Amino acid sequence: MFNSDRQKKLTEKKYSNLRLLCKDTSFSESPEYIFQILDILEHSAVQNSISITTRKAYHEDISAGQMKDPSRFHRLLKRDQLFTSFKSVRSTPQYWQQMQYDMLAKLRQLGPYTFFITGSAAEFYWPQVIQVVGRQYGKDFSDEDVASMDWNTKRMWLQTNPVTVARHIDYIFQQLWDKVILSGTHPIGQILNYDRRKEMQGRGTEHFHSAVHVKDAPCIDKDSDEVCIAFIDKYVSCHLPEADSNIHKLVSSRQVHHHTHTFKKKSTSCRFGYPRVPSPSTIISRVPETDADPDIKARAKLIQAKVYTILTEKNLSLPISLQQILNEANVTLIDYTEALKIAARRTSIIMKREPNEVNVNNYNEHILQALQSNMDIQFITNIWAWIAYLTSYICKPEHTMSELMKKASKESSHKNVRDALKDIGNVFRKCREVSEHEAIARILPLPLRKSNINVLFIQTDVKENRTRILKPKHILDKMENDETDLYVPSIHDKYSARPQSLQNISLAEFCSEYNISSAKSNATNDDNNSNSDSDGNSNNTNKTFQLKDNLGKITKRRYPRVIRYHYVSKENNEELYYHRLLILYLPWHSETELKLQDSYKIKFEEVENDIIPTIKKYEPYYNEVETILNDFDLDSAEPEIWNEMAAQVEQEILEAAAESHTIQNPHLNPDLLETGEDDNRRRKIQKPFTIAKAHLTSDPQFYDKVRSLNPQQRRLFDFLFSLANQTRMAETDERAPKPFYLFLSGGGGVGKTHTVNTIYDGLVRALRKPGQDPDKPVVLMTTSTGKAASNINGIILHSAFSLPIREKGKSFAFKKPGAEKLNTLRCMYVNLKVIVADEISMFGGSSLEDLHLFLQEIFQDSSQIHPFAGISVLAVGDLMQLNPVGDRAVFKENHQNDYTALAGSLWTNHFQLIELTEIVRQKGDPVFAEVLSRIRTGNMTHEDIEVLNQLENTDTSNFPIDTVHLYMTNQQVSVYNNEKLETFPQPHITIASVDSKRDLHTNIQSITIPPSSIYQTGGYLSSQLTIAKGARVMLTKNYDIADHLVNGVIGTVVEFNIPANSPVNGHIYILNLTVSL
């Protein structure tokens, strides 16, 4: 490790970088190593922050002897700064808060930012990422090779070496900025300043947010609307190019918004603000003045609503003009344009859009062509918009961590400072979610934030209220008791020691225009008090000055810094307000010079005319920014505002997060359950996508199961177990053995279930790789019914892949799953290698074809070399048992569709029969076993019938009272159930069904069921339900397979809560649910 004895000692950071970047890829391929080394480095960073914080003290003129007093030392520590101690630890909430403060400082000095730009990584569509990984392993892929890869192969290469992938994505983004955005071509104008932040999406790869100042950019309400609009139109577009243009495919595939599960917010409208309104030209929309016509907003809203209604009814893929839409809405172009100029909430930009472009997100053509991925660019309308929508967003992802760290700080208030800091630091280390790419970025380190202009914080409080850093303890211990040089020299000390030639510069100019090096080093401290990764690597000039008292040197900077200081309200503390202005902008040698007649205000009034030019130089927008900040809470910004500003990237973030999101349901408690919930609202609640985990036995139990297999069963097990091991050991999918497609069959009692369970245990053990998420299966146990799925701890095959349900007698054309569903399935089945399909006789041939097509879409298998996208399938069952409902058997060809018939039968062409013949269930009764075998094939003899008749027993009087009775018709069932209900004490509750049918054109139409038809059913459900406490009931619908709430489960009613005004919204509480009859 890094602390081993060696000639040249390595730090933890250097050691970890050497490991991850060396030619031996075993470290860079290991997620376990990456996360372990991250924890080690962050533990070290936290400890360093703690060490610095415990050396902080308020400035006070005391001696070393007084400082050595332990009680006095603790009194000097600043407890209210505990939470901000970790600002130098990357990715902490405090780290990002520093960026927020730095950007506010630039806002005060440089004015409003011009553009906000976002971009996301598209590693699956960037061939160079896979190419650079392939070269590490001796593969030289061409662009065509990468383009022909299916999704699974691309994923495999991208996961092979995540360090290389993360570094190359960072390299692509850096090249985008260096070679495009900051280049001499000026695709969005000449950049004066930019601030860029890297953020990780749910799937782990990065995207960036950036705000830029553009030279000579116009400002709304300061420059004319014509000038502002011309500037916006020059650099921002939402035009959908002609189909034959080179950029058309890029815009249509990357920049067109598609509604998915993330698109709705509280209402039914799109949370990202799509579709946007069409407009004949770019328009600046403003909120009317308070004294304007009160009806102007209402008229504008009505006109926009009429156009929007027509717009949503149109098929926008067909050619249609804005004028046609306006004609149908009976609105003139002039009235519509004037209506667009009226904003409801805030000043905004309405881009020029044709009706077929209302779902196109803003882009810059040059940046989009270079990035080849999602992007967004927004013109910032004013300072308020910047503060509200951008600065507050900088720390949005860190809110939860921030609250946890504050809570730890509060709970540690009774501890000493060092222990309290340890508690806060441990929360950051142990209570966070970090993707593999983010971990790599923190370790190497790849820059998490970047700017071309640094910011330096200057303490502007009075001297006794400023914190100082004490010299190290080993130095203090060696000092004489009467010595007073206890502190590390501050920026104020070095300013006081400036040479005579710089006597007339202020502290602000000193900090902004000069770099400072210590007396022991010639290296300049360009990043003092700044966490930004600066691009100004050669920022020094040749002008160097020696400070007095051996406090080091200063060097003139080529590009000045921006200064940051603590905000002081003039209304709250007038004296401190003027002290800040004086200490920053009035040249001084001793801080005693800042007062006149014991007042900072009087001194300011005396020198005001001299320092006003310097104040205007560094604070030209101070009053405007502070006025807005005083009336605005940064934490109260609406999240929907951000969604509308960076829709494409933000949607991608939300979808990626939703793929791994699970919902925890509380245990049912009648006393805590709200029973007045609206039924329509409850129906809208969607259950999470979950898979019941099949039980994996312990190693001794597994070995016992393998030994218990008979020779037929063992041969199949050994064959599949060997294939699985070969698959896992293969370095690439190309070297893996071909997928298998087997049909395991046999009559009742031959041990199919036992064999399949043993095979499942073996395949999971063989295929599961270290570090893989156990919630994402390598082997999927499926079956055709909810009850069977519950018995095997599996899932219904249709539910597992969202296969369509086919209705008998109705034609059905394959429809590609939506992007939302595909993303969810790809995330869930990223490691899938084998599907076990039990009860295959009840799975139809058309559904088998659907499974094949869906798997091709999920795994993006364009080669179609193997069926089912190369996923192996073990089908299990007996085709002499029940046939599928509403579909043909799997072995029958499709004669309804001539084109499908040309492709042949998936079952006949690919599946190989493995039949078990040795009966193991009835080993002790071979005669009965032979009877069952002949019944299965329909070859019963008279002797077999006699054997069955001997088992007949029609006297049920001695049967247990809770024995389940089976009848031929629903009416017979209802008669028996009503007789049994009469034996239970009152009250008896009868609930009438509310039967309805959803029509695509007329929405919901209620259907009244006459009381006389209570024994008839609609959709196989009774028209009314009568219950009583103690009654046994059966679920007739699959609710949650993972919790065994499936069709056929039986339980006992113990309580019910039925509102009289809405019985169907009541609750029935059932205990002792069991799957078996």
User: What pLDDT does 879 receive?
Assistant: 84
SS3 content of the chain, % helix, strand, coil (to 5): 45, 15, 45
R_g (Cα) of the chain, nearest Å: 36
Name beta bridge partners: 187.
189
The C-alpha atoms of residue 305 and residue 303 are separated, in whole angstroms, by 5
Top-confidence residue, 477 or 583: 583
User: What pLDDT does 235 receive?
Assistant: 96
User: Structure tokens of 811?
Assistant: 């034609």
pLDDT band at 601 (very low <50, low <70, confident <90, very high): very high
For the stretch 94-122, pLDDT in tens is 888 888 889 989 999 999 899 999 999 99
Check pLDDT > 60 for residue 68.
Answer: yes
User: What pLDDT does 967 receive?
Assistant: 83
Top-confidence residue, 634 or 916: 916
Q: Which amino acid is at 914?
A: I
User: What pLDDT does 966 receive?
Assistant: 83
Lowest mean pLDDT among 53-57, 94-98, 718-722, 946-950: 53-57
Using the structure block, give the residue that is written with the tokens 């369970």. Answer: 757
| 866: nearest Cα among 911, 823, 809 | 911
Check pLDDT > 60 for residue 396.
Answer: no
Check pLDDT > 60 for residue 692.
Answer: no
Q: Is the peptide bond before 294 cis (omega within 30 degrees of 0)?
A: no
Inter-CA distances, 750 with 14, 677, 785, 824, 901, Å: 62, 51, 21, 38, 35
Most confident by average pLDDT, 174-183, 827-836, 1066-1075: 174-183
For the stretch 80-95, pLDDT in tens is 566 667 778 888 878 8
Rounded to 10 degrees, the C-alpha dihedral 255/259/263/269 comes to 110
Question: Which residues, other chains included, contact 301 with Cβ-Cβ below 8 Å and sequence gap of 6+?
Answer: 339, 342, 344
Domain ranges within the chain, ordered by starting residue: 699-915, 922-952, 970-1074
Q: Which string of DSSP letters, residue by residue, matches 201-267?
A: -TTS-EEEEEEEEETT---BTTB-HHHHHHHHHHH-B-----TTSTTHHHHHHHTB----TTSB-SS
Most confident by average pLDDT, 168-182, 433-447, 898-912: 168-182
pLDDT band at 1077 (very low <50, low <70, confident <90, very high): very low
Check pLDDT > 80 for residue 349.
Answer: yes
User: What pLDDT does 389 receive?
Assistant: 58
| 911: nearest Cα among 874, 871, 955 | 874
The C-alpha atoms of residue 625 and residue 49 are separated, in whole angstroms, by 32
The C-alpha atoms of residue 1012 and residue 971 are separated, in whole angstroms, by 12
Check pLDDT > 80 for residue 276.
Answer: yes
The C-alpha atoms of residue 557 and residue 696 are separated, in whole angstroms, by 66
User: What pLDDT does 1064 receive?
Assistant: 75
Check pLDDT > 90 for residue 774.
Answer: no
Lowest mean pLDDT among 10-19, 127-136, 172-181: 10-19
Q: Are 164 and 27 in contact (CB under 8 A)?
A: no
Rounded to 10 degrees, the C-alpha dihedral 427/429/432/437 comes to 170
**pLDDT (average), residues 766-777:** 84
| 385: nearest Cα among 642, 93, 736 | 642
Top-confidence residue, 505 or 769: 505
User: What pLDDT does 956 receive?
Assistant: 72
| 212: nearest Cα among 177, 172, 185 | 177
Burial 437-474 (b: 16+ CB within 10 A, else e): bbbbbbbbebbbbbbbbbbbbbbbbbbeeebbebbeee
Check pLDDT > 50 for residue 69.
Answer: yes
The C-alpha atoms of residue 78 and residue 68 are separated, in whole angstroms, by 17
If you ran DSSP here, which 8-state letter would residue 360 be given? B
Burial 490-514 (b: 16+ CB within 10 A, else e): bbbebbbbbeeebeebbbbbbbbbb
Q: Are 64 and 486 in contact (CB under 8 A)?
A: yes
H or E stretch at 195: strand 191-200
User: What pLDDT does 519 receive?
Assistant: 59
Q: Are 481 and 63 in contact (CB under 8 A)?
A: yes
Top-confidence residue, 863 or 989: 989
Sheet holding 1050-1057, edge to edge: 1032-1034, 1050-1057, 1067-1074
Mean pLDDT, the chain, rounded, equals 79
Check pLDDT > 60 for residue 1002.
Answer: no
Top-confidence residue, 70 or 884: 884
User: Structure tokens of 769?
Assistant: 């790789």
Q: Are 545 and 498 in contact (CB under 8 A)?
A: yes
Please report, in angstroms and rounded to a whole number, the separation of the first and last CA atoms in the chain.
61
**pLDDT (average), residues 800-820:** 68
Q: Are 108 and 622 in contact (CB under 8 A)?
A: yes
Looking at domain 699-915, its CATH superfamily turns out to be P-loop containing nucleotide triphosphate hydrolases (3.40.50.300)
pLDDT band at 657 (very low <50, low <70, confident <90, very high): very low
The C-alpha atoms of residue 47 and residue 826 are separated, in whole angstroms, by 41
Identify the burial level of 68 via C-beta atoms within 10 angstroms of its C-beta, where 0-12 means exposed, 13-18 middle and 19 or more buried.
Answer: middle
Top-confidence residue, 928 or 459: 459
Lowest mean pLDDT among 22-26, 161-165, 673-677, 838-842: 673-677
The C-alpha atoms of residue 355 and residue 739 are separated, in whole angstroms, by 48
Most confident by average pLDDT, 344-353, 799-808, 922-931: 344-353
For the stretch 238-273, pLDDT in tens is 999 988 788 888 998 888 876 554 444 444 455 556
**pLDDT (average), residues 906-919:** 88
Q: Is the peptide bond before 472 cis (omega within 30 degrees of 0)?
A: no
For the stretch 724-750, pLDDT in tens is 999 888 756 667 788 999 999 988 778
Most confident by average pLDDT, 29-43, 246-260, 915-929: 29-43
Percent of the chain clearing pLDDT 70 (strictly above): 77
Percent of the chain clearing pLDDT 90 (strictly above): 30
User: What pLDDT does 589 receive?
Assistant: 92
Check pLDDT > 80 for residue 430.
Answer: no
The C-alpha atoms of residue 113 and residue 394 are separated, in whole angstroms, by 15
CA angle at 950 for the pair 945 and 953, rounded to the nearest 5°:
120
CA 436 to chain centroid = 14
